[in-house]
C-alpha cells in the first residue's frame, strides 16, 4: 500500500506541474493584455461569506489564498503524516540525508535573499519567500528530464520537498502572525480537540471530519493565524487506520480523494490568481530591485547551494549515503530542481507584502524567473547525466 500511494502521488504531481505552468502563463498573458483591468478588478472584488454567526468579507484573491489553499495545506498535512508513519519518513536510515539537506535548502536561500535586502531600500521581511520547493513543478521537471534515472532520486526529492513544506508552514505561522484574537484561537483549539476525538469512534462518518476541518478553519481565520496552520493541524487529527478491517485507512481515503482536486483545480486557480503581474507597471529598477533579485538568486543559487552542500558534507563525512544508484551529477541536478519554488514562494510573498503592489510584482517576477532558471538548469544537468548513462550502456 505505501508503494502504491507514493507512485500515485508522483504521477499526479508530475501531471499537475504542466497544468500549473499553463495557469501561470495564462495569468501573465491576461495581466498584460487589453483585458488586464478586468483581471485585476476581479481579483480585488470583495466577496462576503455568511453562514449562521460566521461572516467574513475578503477579496476573491484572498478567498483563494485563505480558503481554498487551506485545503491544499490539509492535503500537505495528510501527506506529511502518511510519510512519517508509513512512508519514506518512517525509515530512520533514509531520513538524515533529505531532512538535513532540506534544512540547508531552507537556510541558504534565506541568507542569499537577505544579502540583497539588508541594505537601505531592501525588504528583509520577505526572507522566507525562496525557502520552499514546489513539489508539483519539481516532480514534473524530474519526470521530463530523467525518466530512466534511479527511482531513489524521486524518493529523495519527494521527501525533501515534504520536509520543505513542513518548514515553510512553521515559518508562516511564526513570522506572519501579527495579531492574535484569543477567543477565536481558543475556539480553533477546541474544534481541533473535538476533531482529535473522532478516531475513538471507529465508524465516524467522513462528513464529521469535514465539519471539524471547517470549524478549525473558520476560527483560525478569525484568530489572525494563517489558515495554512489550520489545514496542517486538522490533517494531524485524521486517523491513519481503517474504519473497518481490510479497508484503506481514513487518511488514505482523504488523501486519494482530495489530492486530484488540489493538484488539478485549487493549485492552478491559485497560480492564475497569484502569478499575474503587469510588465508595464514595473520600472527597470523594479526588475532588478533587491526583492526580485534576492528571490531569484535565493532560488537559483541558494537552494542548490544549501541542498547539495549539506548532502555532500553528510556523504563526505560518511554520516549518510547517496541515494541508491545515483551519481554526484544526479544529486546536483536534483538540487537545482529544488530551486523551483513557485506555489509556496508566491504564497509567502503575498503574506510578506499584503498591501504593496510594487513589491508583490517584484516577488512574482523573482519567483517566476528563479523557478524557470532552476528548472532549465536542473533539467539540463539531469538530461546530460541520463545521456551519459545511455552512451555508457551501449556496447
Per-residue pLDDT tens for 166-201? 788 788 877 876 677 888 889 999 999 999 998 888
71 vs 138, residue with greater confidence: 71
The whole-number average pLDDT for the span 308-317 is: 93
- Among 86, 90, 92, residue whose Cα is nearest residue 1: 86
Above 70 in pLDDT, residue 17?
no
Above 80 in pLDDT, residue 88?
no
Percent of the chain residues topping a pLDDT of 70: 89
Residue 181 maps to a domain: yes
- Among 11, 93, 84, residue whose Cα is nearest residue 324: 93
Above 90 in pLDDT, residue 109?
yes
Model confidence band, residue 319 (pLDDT cutoffs 50, 70, 90): confident
Assess contact for 289 and 116: CB atoms under 8 A. Answer: no
Which residues, 6 or more positions from 377, have their beta carbon under 8 angstroms from its beta carbon?
300, 336, 339
Residue 395 maps to a domain: no
Residue 151 grid cell: 527511482
- CATH code assigned at 329: 1.20.1530.10
Rg (CA), the chain: 21
Q: At what angle do helices 2-31 and 267-274 cross, to 10 degrees?
A: 30
85 vs 331, residue with greater confidence: 331
Range of the domain at 158: 2-389
Model confidence band, residue 285 (pLDDT cutoffs 50, 70, 90): low
Predicted local distance difference test score (pLDDT) of residue 192: 93
- Among 367, 270, 221, residue whose Cα is nearest residue 65: 270
Above 80 in pLDDT, residue 119?
yes
- The C-alpha torsion from 314 through 315 and 318 to 324, rounded to 10°, is 130
Number of domains in the chain: 1
The mean of the pLDDT values for the chain is 83
Residue 53 maps to a domain: yes
pLDDT digits (tens, 9 = 90+) for 142-167: 877 766 778 778 778 877 887 887 78
The whole-number average pLDDT for the span 92-102 is: 82
Residue 394 maps to a domain: no
Predicted local distance difference test score (pLDDT) of residue 82: 82
Model confidence band, residue 288 (pLDDT cutoffs 50, 70, 90): confident
| CA separation for the pair 128, 353 (Å, rounded) | 12
Assess contact for 300 and 370: CB atoms under 8 A. Answer: yes
| CA separation for the pair 31, 38 (Å, rounded) | 9
Residue with cell 558534507: 313
- The SS3 call for residue 86 is coil
Above 60 in pLDDT, residue 9?
no
Residue with cell 487529527: 237
List, as one string, the DSSP characters of 333-350.
HHHHHTT--HHHHHHHHH
Model confidence band, residue 64 (pLDDT cutoffs 50, 70, 90): confident
Above 60 in pLDDT, residue 237?
yes
- The SS3 call for residue 356 is coil
Residue 307 grid cell: 541542498
Predicted local distance difference test score (pLDDT) of residue 381: 93
Model confidence band, residue 14 (pLDDT cutoffs 50, 70, 90): low
pLDDT digits (tens, 9 = 90+) for 361-385: 888 889 989 998 999 999 899 989 8
Cα–Cα distances (Å) from 90 to 81, 139, 220, in that order, read: 10, 21, 30
pLDDT digits (tens, 9 = 90+) for 326-366: 899 999 999 999 999 887 888 888 888 876 667 888 888 89
Predicted local distance difference test score (pLDDT) of residue 93: 64
Model confidence band, residue 3 (pLDDT cutoffs 50, 70, 90): very low
Residue 51 maps to a domain: yes
Residue 244 maps to a domain: yes
Residue 52 grid cell: 449562521
Cα separation of the two ends of the chain: 39
Model confidence band, residue 16 (pLDDT cutoffs 50, 70, 90): low
Above 50 in pLDDT, residue 2?
no
Assess contact for 202 and 178: CB atoms under 8 A. Answer: no
Residue 299 grid cell: 532560488
Assess contact for 327 and 333: CB atoms under 8 A. Answer: no
Write the DSSP symbol of residue 122: -
Model confidence band, residue 257 (pLDDT cutoffs 50, 70, 90): confident
| CA separation for the pair 355, 377 (Å, rounded) | 33
Cβ count within 10 A of residue 388: 12
- The C-alpha torsion from 163 through 165 and 170 to 173, rounded to 10°, is -170
Above 50 in pLDDT, residue 6?
no
Using left for φ > 0, alpha for ψ between -120 and 50, and beta otherwise, residue 242 falls in beta
Amino acid at each position: 500500500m505505501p508503494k502504491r500511494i507514493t507512485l500515485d502521488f508522483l504521477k499526479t504531481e508530475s501531471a499537475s506541474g504542466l497544468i500549473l505552468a499553463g495557469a501561470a502563463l495564462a495569468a501573465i498573458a491576461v495581466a498584460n493584455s487589453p483585458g488586464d483591468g478586468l483581471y485585476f478588478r476581479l481579483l480585488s472584488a470583495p466577496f462576503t461569506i455568511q453562514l449562521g454567526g460566521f461572516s467574513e468579507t475578503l477579496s476573491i484573491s484572498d478567498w483563494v489564498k485563505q480558503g481554498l489553499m487551506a485545503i491544499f495545506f490539509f492535503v500537505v498535512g495528510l501527506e506529511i503524516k502518511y510519510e512519517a508513519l508509513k512512508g519514506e519518513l518512517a525509515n530512520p536510515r533514509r531520513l538524515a540525508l533529505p531532512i538535513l539537506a532540506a534544512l540547508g535548502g531552507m537556510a541558504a536561500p534565506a541568507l542569499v535573499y537577505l544579502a540583497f535586502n539588508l541594505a537601505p531600500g531592501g525588504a528583509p521581511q520577505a526572507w522566507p519567500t525562496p525557502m520552499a520547493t514546489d513539489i508539483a513543478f519539481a516532480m514534473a521537471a524530474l519526470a521530463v528530464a530523467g525518466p530512466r534515472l534511479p527511482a531513489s532520486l524521486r524518493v529523495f526529492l519527494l521527501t525533501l520537498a515534504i520536509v520543505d513544506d513542513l518548514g515553510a508552514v512553521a515559518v508562516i505561522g511564526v513570522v506572519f502572525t501579527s495579531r492574535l484574537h484569543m477567543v477565536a484561537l481558543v475556539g480553533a483549539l477546541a474544534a481541533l480537540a473535538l476533531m482529535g476525538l473522532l478516531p475513538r469512534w471507529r465508524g465516524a462518518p467522513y462528513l464529521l471530519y469535514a465539519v471539524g476541518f471547517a470549524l478549525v478553519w473558520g476560527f483560525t481565520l478569525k484568530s489572525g493565524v494563517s489558515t495554512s496552520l489550520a489545514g496542517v493541524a486538522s490533517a494531524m487529527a485524521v486517523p491513519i487506520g481503517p474504519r473497518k478491517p481490510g479497508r484503506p485507512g481514513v487518511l488514505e481515503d482523504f488523501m486519494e480523494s482530495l489530492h486530484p482536486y488540489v493538484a488539478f483545480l485549487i493549485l492552478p486557480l491559485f497560480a492564475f490568481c497569484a502569478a499575474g503581474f503587469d510588465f508595464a507597471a514595473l520600472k527597470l529598477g523594479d526588475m532588478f530591485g533587491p526583492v526580485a533579485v534576492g528571490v531569484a538568486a535565493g532560488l537559483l543559487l541558494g537552494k542548490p547551494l544549501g541542498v547539495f552542500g549539506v548532502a555532500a558534507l553528510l556523504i563526505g563525512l560518511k554520516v549518510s549515503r547517496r541515494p541508491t544508484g545515483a551519481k554526484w551529477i544526479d544529486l546536483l541536478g536534483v538540487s537545482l530542481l529544488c530551486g523551483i519554488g513557485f506555489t509556496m514562494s508566491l504564497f509567502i510573498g503575498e503574506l510578506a507584502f499584503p498591501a504593496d503592489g510594487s513589491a508583490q510584482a517584484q516577488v512574482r517576477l523573482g519567483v517566476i524567473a528563479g523557478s524557470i532558471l532552476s528548472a532549465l538548469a536542473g533539467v539540463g544537468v539531469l538530461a546530460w547525466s541520463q545521456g551519459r548513462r545511455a552512451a555508457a550502456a551501449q556496447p
